[in-house]
Amino acid sequence: MIGVPSATGDLDTPPAPPVEPPTDDSQGSGRLGSVFAASVTVCALFVAWGVLFTDNLNDVTTSSLNWITASFGWSYLVVTLAILIFLVFLAFSPYGEIRLGRDEDRPEFSTISWFAMILSAVMGIGLVSYGVAEPISHFNTPPHGLAEPGTPAAAVRAMQYSYFDWGLHAWAIFAVFGLAIAYSTHRKGRPTLVSQLFRPLLGDLVDGPVGKAIDVLAVFATLFGTTTSLGLGALQVNNGLATLFGIPVNDVSQVLIIAFVTAVFTLSAVTGVSKGIKFLSQGSAGLATALFVFMLVVGPTAFLANLYIESVGTWATDFFRMSLQGTAFGDLQWMQWWTYFMMAWWVSWGAFVGVFLARISKGRTIRGFIMGVLVVPTVVFFTWFTVFGGTAIHVDMFDGGTIGAQTAADINSAFFATLDAFPLASITSFVAIVLVVMFFVSGADANTYVLAMMTSGGSLTPRRSILVLWGVLTGITAIVLMLAGGLNALQNTVIVTSAPFLVIIAGLAVSFWRELINDKREAEQAKAEAREVAEVTR
């Protein structure tokens, strides 16, 4: 077990403070209020904007993107690195022994099951969408001109920057959210709302307009994180169906795919088919593992092992340089397409993944939580990208392949182009399509639940009508963005809409740190008073 302290505890570890009584909403009343009204109104206005003034939507989001990234793009780098450093410090400090719950609580799930559930939270569409596309794109156009295209040095740089985009920084965002929510919910007994995480910093202001604004921003960011995944999933499924059955890659196909999947995940969320979602999660993990093993066996195994070791070494050596490399001397468009987009995507998924991580982590120590959430998924993602992305690089470098050229023409074709270079391509491509759909449904189902919960006062049992509403709004928003400009529109919007939420994440970390300090001070004071009482009665 990771980070489990001795049963005797530690004098530096503050005991659990009295649990604050939950509000009515945390008991599941599902009461609707201003957060729900404001969130639905803003989302509906955005959809109407996209339908009625598509060109204007594109112009505004593009202009906003350029201004935000040129002026404040560095903040994505600084905030995520600061959060990562904060988490590492926390893990190795005395605070690492604190339980996410009462002192007597112990983990509900075994460590192995816990790791499996962590991976299932985010191990979705992105792995298929970018598992090949990002490494092969960087191989053809090395980041920041650090290597000549198509060379061995370019291969290492390609993996290095793929690791950066999908590694510790991403999971630091998820970890700080999950940690703060778990502490607030399990140890302090508060409703599962983002605004409640700011109570140590803002006090009773979280119950007023300020808190409502925070929750609305959380809903907005989560919605666009979900729609981006839906759009990417539709593009992947469409390309896979085109490869297997010749179905045209166009707006009509993609709209039909999104509509179908939206109907499925909304029905699943409404009916609460827990067995079905459990089957989807287990099934997707099994298919992903099978596809991974297949590629590892038929692919250039020795080459991949060597590439992995060298790329990890370069990533570790350049870690802080990559973490703070901005656009002072150009590369703004490259950063928009890769680093800024990826970090914005992680930010937009923070609330959803944080709620999920908090739900499965009650009873774990802060140290165990941080080490588990940061290290294990990072290693798994590195390995996946090496096997699939490294295989594509090998095909192009040594076998005269054209995966890079196909990716440049259509980035969503990368994964299927790689599978096509090996035996049983029809079978593996079909498996990949099924895998994307399964990730599609299970991820969107969970996101719909979290959106409904956040707009129902933190209720753990939101009304079915609210679940349906958010399912439909999610699907419609994804369709609007797809028709407005495809992948480019998805990327632009997720960066623009997540920017305000980056400030929320920074504030959340400060608030959480203040609460830890306050709780430790109160615990030490309580111990001192107890000692005084004991001396008096002696």
Query: DSSP labels for 306-356?
Result: HHHHHHHHHHHHTHHHHHT--STTS-HHHHHHTHHHHHHHHHHHHHHHHHH
| CA dihedral sign, ordered 513, 514, 519, 521 | positive
Give 224's pLDDT tier (boundaries 50, 70, 90): confident
pLDDT average, residue stretch 245-272: 84
Between 27 and 376, whose confidence is greater? 376
pLDDT average, residue stretch 286-292: 90
- 333-352: pLDDT as tens digits: 899 889 998 888 888 888 88
Between 157 and 460, whose confidence is greater? 157
Spatial neighbors of 312 by CB under 8 A, at least 6 apart, are 163, 382
Neighbour-count burial for 391-400, b at 16+ CB within 10 Å, e otherwise: bbbbbbbeee
What is d(CA 393, CA 155) in angstroms, rounded to the nearest whole number? 7
pLDDT at 322: 93
Give the class (CATH, top level) of 43-525: mainly alpha
Name the most confidently modeled range: 62-71, 172-181, 495-504.
172-181
Nearest in space to 193 (alpha carbons), one of 516, 454, 517: 454
pLDDT at 249: 87
Amino acid, single-letter form, for residue 133: A
Q: Is residue 101 helix, strand or coil?
A: coil
Contact 142, 334 (CB under 8 A): no
With 80 as the cut, is the pLDDT of residue 28 above it? no
CA dihedral 488→491→497→502, nearest 10 degrees, is -150
Contact 236, 129 (CB under 8 A): yes
Q: Provide the token pair at 16.
A: 């659990």
Q: Provide the token pair at 12.
A: 């530096």
pLDDT average, residue stretch 92-107: 91
- 164-197: pLDDT as tens digits: 999 999 999 999 999 999 999 999 988 888 999 9
Contact 338, 73 (CB under 8 A): no
Contact 444, 229 (CB under 8 A): yes
pLDDT average, residue stretch 244-268: 86
Contact 2, 97 (CB under 8 A): no
Spatial neighbors of 394 by CB under 8 A, at least 6 apart, are 299, 300, 303, 304
